[in-house]
Amino acid sequence: MLFLYEGPVDTGSYMILGFGVIYGFMAIYVWSLNARNKKLKEDLKMIKDLDK
Amino acid sequence: MEEKPKLLSFFDIASILLLIAASYLTLVFAPQEAVMGQVQRVFYFHVSAGWVGMIGFFVAVVSGIFYLAKGEHKWDVAGLAGIELGLVFFFINIVTGSIWARPIWNTWWTWDPRLVTATIVELVYIAYLMLRQGIEDPDRRARFGAIYAIVGFVSVPMTFLSIRIWRTIHPVVIGSSDPGAEGAFEMTADMKTAFFFSLFTFTVIGITLVWHRIRLGNLADKVEALKLKLM
Amino acid sequence: MSLNAETKARSTQGQTSFFKSMWAIVWKDVSAEWRSRELFSAMLVFALLVIMIFNFALELNIRERNEITAGVLWVTFAFAGTLGLNRSMAVEKDRGCLDGLLLAPVDRSAIYFGKVLGNLIFMLVVEAIVLPIYSILYNTNLFQGGLILVILLGSIGYAVVGTLLSSMAVQARTRDVLLPILLFPVILPVLIAAVRASSYYLQGQPMDLIQPSLNLLMAYDVIFSAVAYALFDYVVEE
């Protein structure tokens, strides 16, 4: 158990990776919701235009 | 269903602010853990993500039961939204669990009951989506989705128990004598603050996202209905 | 007084007709299968092939083999079981039997339990043949009471959930692939507990080690019988 002597392990890069995953995938999901929403709104507009 | 309700806008802003605050608490305010170092900070959001994943599952099951009982389409929209939320957040949970394990136990995967159960739940979600994809009739799709969500939900606690029983015989974590306490560390008061605040933050984020997803589902149905009318 | 007697008679009649219908369905499946034996032979051949593949894929010595016998057995049963479930339901759907059954004045749950019992019988027959063959091929005696019990309990759970899920899967476009995808995440408690209990029985371990797994198997069977019984109606309602 090496770290008992040397203090905590430097795991900073893993921390960055972890938080990157967390923020990243939440952002991707929000972006996905947004993109789908936009596409549907466009479809809606197109249908309404066709209807006229 | 066009107007975005004011409450939802409030939730949007609250989610962002809470996330900023929670990030500060977990990254700066909480003390560094003595043994694991910085990567331990991932733990707060890792657990919170798992919690939101379970909320998603719960939403899907309750919606499923209501759909079977009442047959109202809105419950199906909610069910799908719940599953999608669960899918995203359990994925985050699993990946961060793996990232946390790597520097600590020098392995990308530990057969920790919670991690394995999370993966199985993820598989249930994917199976749910594949089931829905394979069915044309919307009513049948909704019914089958509801049934599978319920079956899945009932099976998961039993899966967790069975893995726990299995694990007490196969401790995998090197150096850990208590198989249930993988990754255990003492939480100081500041850490507890960060932890519970993160849980709260992610709950709010979860509610916000599922609400948006439900609105999206309703909009999709509306467009689908209009398309059919045109043809 | 006579009214009581009448309602009592009618309710026992209702009960008899439930079991009658259930048995009718089991009999239909089993006798149809007995005549053609296609499903059964497919499952059996498949099970034997799986055992052969394990033998070559794992290349174990005698000692290691004993440790994983339980695992190999249960993987074999799980995959052969999927075959049986798929075919059993597909036949119903393709020949329109299911619709016919549903039109009949029969309790839906009788149909469900009838199918479950039929699937269970198929599984048990295949297992009954695989066990002696495995025993011979690997020179281990698999005919122990405890192991038989575990196989029975595990097969019940498998059939109960498998029948419900296959009745849904068969109606999807991707029917053959879909059943294992739906079934395996949900059947894991059975597989894990059954392998554990089987392994312990074969190694002659004490009962208090085996008990938790047996309890889990029994709980699973009971809980899912109730859940599937409640949900099956919703699969077939139109």
Distance from CA of C141 to the nearest CA of B (A): 25
Average pLDDT over residues C56-69: 72
> What tens digit of pLDDT does each residue of C91-119 get?
777 767 777 777 777 777 888 888 899 89
In a domain, residue B185? The reply is no
The tens digit of pLDDT for each residue in C155-170 reads: 999 999 999 999 999 8
Structure-token pair, residue C134 = 């495995």
Average pLDDT, chain A: 84
Average per-residue pLDDT in chain C?
A: 83
Q: Is B2 among the domain residues? A: no
Question: Cα–chain-centroid distance for residue B72?
Answer: 25
User: Total domain count for chain B?
Assistant: 1
Chain B residue with CA closest to C171: the answer is B135
Taking the CA of residue A46 and the nearest CA in chain B, the distance in Å comes to 10
Distance CA B7, CA B5 (A): 5
What confidence score (pLDDT) does residue C5 get?
58
Q: What is the pLDDT of residue B113?
A: 85
Give the pLDDT band of residue A7 (cuts 50, 70, 90).
Answer: low
B103-137 per-position pLDDT tens digit? 887 888 888 888 889 999 999 999 999 999 999 88
pLDDT class of C21 with cuts at 50, 70, 90: confident
Distance CA C178, CA B144 (A): 13
**Min Cα–Cα distance to chain B from C3, Å:** 34
Query: What's the whole-model pTM score?
Result: 0.86
Q: How confident is the model at residue B57 (pLDDT cuts 50, 70, 90)?
A: very high
Percent of chain C with pLDDT over 70: 89
The chains in contact with chain A, meaning 3 or more Cβ pairs closer than 8 Å, are B
Listed in sequence order, the residues at least 6 apart from B113 whose beta carbon sits closer than 8 Å to its beta carbon are B160, B163, B164, B167, B180
In a domain, B53, yes or no: no
> Is the pLDDT reported for residue C225 higher than 50?
yes
Per-residue pLDDT tens digits for B141-182: 999 999 999 999 999 999 988 888 777 655 544 434 443 445
Tell me, yes or no, whether B5 lies in a domain: no
DSSP labels, C110-121 = HHHHHHHHHHHH
pLDDT at A33 over 90: yes
- The size of the A-B interface in CB pairs under 8 A is 99
Which of B72-81, B159-168, C66-75, C141-150: highest mean pLDDT?
B72-81
- For residue B127, which residues of chain C lie inside 8 Å, CB to CB? 181-182, 185
pLDDT, tens only, C38-62: 777 888 888 888 888 887 787 766 6
pLDDT at B148: 96
Q: Which residues of C touch B159 (CB under 8 A)?
A: 185, 188-189, 192
Element (H, E) at B175: none
Query: How many C-beta atoms surround the C-beta of residue B37 within 10 A?
Result: 20
Burial class (CB in 10 A: 0-12, 13-18, 19+), B1: exposed
Res B5: pLDDT: 86
Minimal CA–CA distance to B214: which of A48, A37, A25, A26?
A37
Find the mean pLDDT for residues B73-100. 94
Q: What is the pLDDT of residue B68?
A: 94
CB-CB contact of C163 with C85 (8 Å) = yes
Enclosing domain of residue B101: 59-172
Quick one: CA torsion of C225, C230, C233, C234, rounded to 10 degrees? Answer: -110
- Asked if C234's CB is within 8 angstroms of B147's CB, the reply is yes
Query: ipTM score here?
Result: 0.85
pLDDT of residue B178: 43
What is the nearest CA distance from B37 to chain A, expressed in angstroms?
5
pLDDT band, very low/low/confident/very high, at B187 (cuts 50, 70, 90): confident
Residue A14 in contact with partner chain B when CB distance is under 8 A: yes
Say yes or no for a CB contact (<8 Å) between A25 and B88. yes
Q: Is A42 on the interface with B (CB under 8 A)?
A: no
